[in-house]
Structure 1
Amino acid sequence: MGKVLVLNASYEPLNITSWRRAIVLLLKGKAEQLEHSNRVLYADLPFPTVIRLRYYVRVPYKEIPLTRRNVLERDRNTCQYCNTKRDQLTLDHVLPRSRGGGDTWENLVAACVRCNVKKGNRTPKEANMNLLTKPRRPHSSLHFELLKCTQGNHNQEWKKYVIGI
């Protein structure tokens, strides 16, 4: 049937749950349905795709570690210069380390070996290579799961409740 996006009372994404758990939250009155699919469980109860909790739940902030895997996942395993999906991707420093560029979310992008070598020790502007997307820090630990669940035409109604995907 699919997964359901759960929002806090403040409309901030909390997690992704099963449709069964979402139905239980709706029936107990702990959540309200914001979006639904065209499939119906009962006469007046369509399958939910986005629900919002009625009461605010405090969630501790958890920083996402800067790792090679997380950078590649953020960039959807796609070269940020030529838009190709390859197995052999490298990490490229937008501002090269030799010019003071550090290992930060905003300075690292996924790049194929060919583009990384072509860019070399230059900035993208100097190499006349445009970035497809500006690199940035993911907003929440839920970011990567949301990326997976919204690929293609899946769960497009989630995009209006989530920043940065």
Structure 2
Amino acid sequence: MATSRTGTAQWFNVRNHALRLAQQNDQTQCPYCGIPLDYKNKRAPNGAQVDHIVPHSRGGSDRITNLIVCCARCNQSKSNRSAPKQHTKPQSKPLWTSRKW
């Protein structure tokens, strides 16, 4: 039985690193819709989730330079597009521009 790419220890480490960076950078809102992010309950509609800027299915990598933290609702509505249905691009800086990284 094949396992999910996002179920690997490597992905969990990258995802956790991205979430820590977002919190260190005081990212409190979704860059797509502006809703306040909930870092404690990732399954809530406003739960903080790590999203690929360029979707993996379209050649995007799991590198930190291709990741952004957004709310669960935008992450799910985005699917394999470059932005959620209601927006064209993120409103905040990507994670890799942080001085704390």
Q: CA deviation at 1:112?
A: 0.7
Q: Secondary structure at the match of 2:36?
A: coil
Unpaired runs of 5+ in structure 1?
Answer: 1-64, 145-165
Instruction: Percent identity, please.
Output: 31
1:107 aligned to which of 62, 66, 79 = 66
Alpha-carbon distance in 1 for matches of 2:66, 2:79: 15
**Matched-pair contact (CA < 8 Å) for 1:106–1:137:** yes
The structure where strand makes up a greater share of residues is 1
| Total equivalences in the alignment | 77
Pick 1 or 2: higher relative contact order, CA cutoff 8 A, min separation 6: 2
Alpha-carbon distance in 1 for matches of 2:20, 2:75: 19
Hey, what does 1:149 align to over in structure 2? Answer: none
Runs of 4+ in 1 over 4 A off after TM superposition: none
Q: How does 1:1-165 map to 2 (within 5 A)?
A: 67-73=17-23, 74=25, 76-87=27-38, 88-124=47-83, 127=85, 129=87, 130-138=89-97, 140=99, 143=100
Q: CA deviation at 1:131?
A: 0.5
The structure where helix makes up a greater share of residues is 2
Q: Normalised by the size of structure 2, how large is the TM-score?
A: 0.60
